[in-house]
Homo-oligomer: A and B are copies of this chain.
Amino acid sequence: MSGMQEAQKPAAWRSRLHRIIFESDSPSGKGFDVALIVAIFVSIVVVMLESVKSLSDSHATLLRLAEWGFTALFTIEYVLRLLCVSKPLRYARSFFGIVDLLAILPTYISLLVPGTQALLVIRTLRILRIFRVLKLVKHVRAAENLMQALRGSRRKIEVFLYAVFSLVVIFGSMMYLIEGPENGFTSIPKGIYWAVVTMTTVGYGDLSPQSPLGQTVASVIMILGYGIIAVPTGIVSAEMALLKPVSKPGAVSGQACPACGGGAHALDAAFCRLCGSKM
């Protein structure tokens, strides 16, 4: 922290703004995070309610007002974020930069181009902005642990997915042969859809085998699907058990890079691991 104070390269207001918007270890930074998380949730609830016909009819003005309020708010926030990082383009092209933009763009487009109401649904992507606020050291560490376990078992999960995919195609085709169009299995893709619904144990019941042979084969598929779920679980469990609890030096700070806004830096990091700027 003190190192940043000394290397006061960016204008004072910019570095202060950066601490408030991007970081979470000052009281004002925490306050901003809480306000942001509330705004995100309420704005998503507004988007949801807008899609309920009866509500959007009776409270049209209120909902529209709220929507424009949030869009204005998020636009200001987006501009401020652009202003306070020293490499705005890098931020704009980062994952969160794009999510931040997608949170405001649809509302503007729907105003300019009529008939693009469907685009408004994209605003639910705002939910992803919540992860931006998850800057708490413990959460970041937990997320990293999870990602590490998933990355470690990636190849095994890929092989598993290939196997499931093949089984689903083969069983789906088989059931199309056995049950046929008269029982709702009108095509191979429909059979495959049924196989996915069955093997994942979802079981809607919109399609279900009617013939004795079909029900017998379906029973085998179900037990297989039920047993197969053990495989990815076993993979992830084993990988997780291998993980060493992240040691202290590897811990993560609540700071973000002043240049590109990237977070989750090691406590002793002197340079941003993403853009190389001095921190």
> Residues on A close to B: CB < 8 A?
44, 47-48, 51-53, 118, 121-122, 124-125, 127-128, 130-131, 134, 138-139, 141-143, 145-146, 149-150, 155-162, 164-166, 169-170, 172-174, 176-177, 181, 186-190, 192-193, 196-206, 208, 212, 215-216, 218-219, 222-223, 225-227, 229-243
Q: Is there an interface contact between A187 and B155, defined as CB atoms closer than 8 Å?
A: no
CB distance from A239 to the nearest CB of B (A): 7
| Contact pick for A159, options B142, B158, B193, CB 8 Å | B142
- Additional pairs, 10, CB under 8 Å, beyond known A139-B158, A142-B158, A230-B237: A124-B172, A127-B170, A189-B215, A193-B218, A193-B219, A198-B202, A202-B203, A205-B206, A230-B236, A234-B240
Q: Is there an interface contact between A226 and B200, defined as CB atoms closer than 8 Å?
A: yes
| Contact pick for A238, options B130, B142, B174, B241, CB 8 Å | B241
A-B pairs with beta carbons under 8 Å apart, 23 shown: A44-B169, A48-B188, A48-B189, A118-B177, A128-B166, A128-B170, A130-B166, A134-B159, A134-B162, A150-B231, A161-B223, A197-B203, A199-B226, A200-B225, A200-B226, A201-B202, A205-B205, A205-B206, A230-B235, A230-B237, A231-B236, A235-B240, A238-B243
Chain B residue with minimal CB distance to A50?
B188
Q: Is the interface of A mostly helix, strand, loop or mixed?
A: helix
Q: Is there an interface contact between A139 and B155, defined as CB atoms closer than 8 Å?
A: yes
Q: Is there an interface contact between A159 and B146, defined as CB atoms closer than 8 Å?
A: yes
| Measured CA separation A101–B227 after assembly (Å) | 31
| Contact pick for A186, options B44, B53, B233, CB 8 Å | B53
Q: Is there an interface contact between B231 and A229, defined as CB atoms closer than 8 Å?
A: no
CB distance from A277 to the nearest CB of B (A): 28
User: Which residues of the partner chain B approach A181 to less than 8 Å between Cβ atoms?
Assistant: 53
Copies in the complex: 4
Q: Is there an interface contact between B208 and A204, defined as CB atoms closer than 8 Å?
A: yes
CB distance from A37 to the nearest CB of B (A): 11
| Measured CA separation A241–B153 after assembly (Å) | 12
| Measured CA separation A130–B165 after assembly (Å) | 11
| Contact pick for A229, options B121, B190, B233, CB 8 Å | B233
Given that A52-B187, A197-B203, A232-B230 are contacting pairs, would A143 and B159 also be in contact in the complex, using a CB cutoff of 8 Å? yes
| Measured CA separation A146–B212 after assembly (Å) | 34
User: Which residues of the partner chain B approach A166 to less than 8 Å between Cβ atoms?
Assistant: 127-128, 130-131
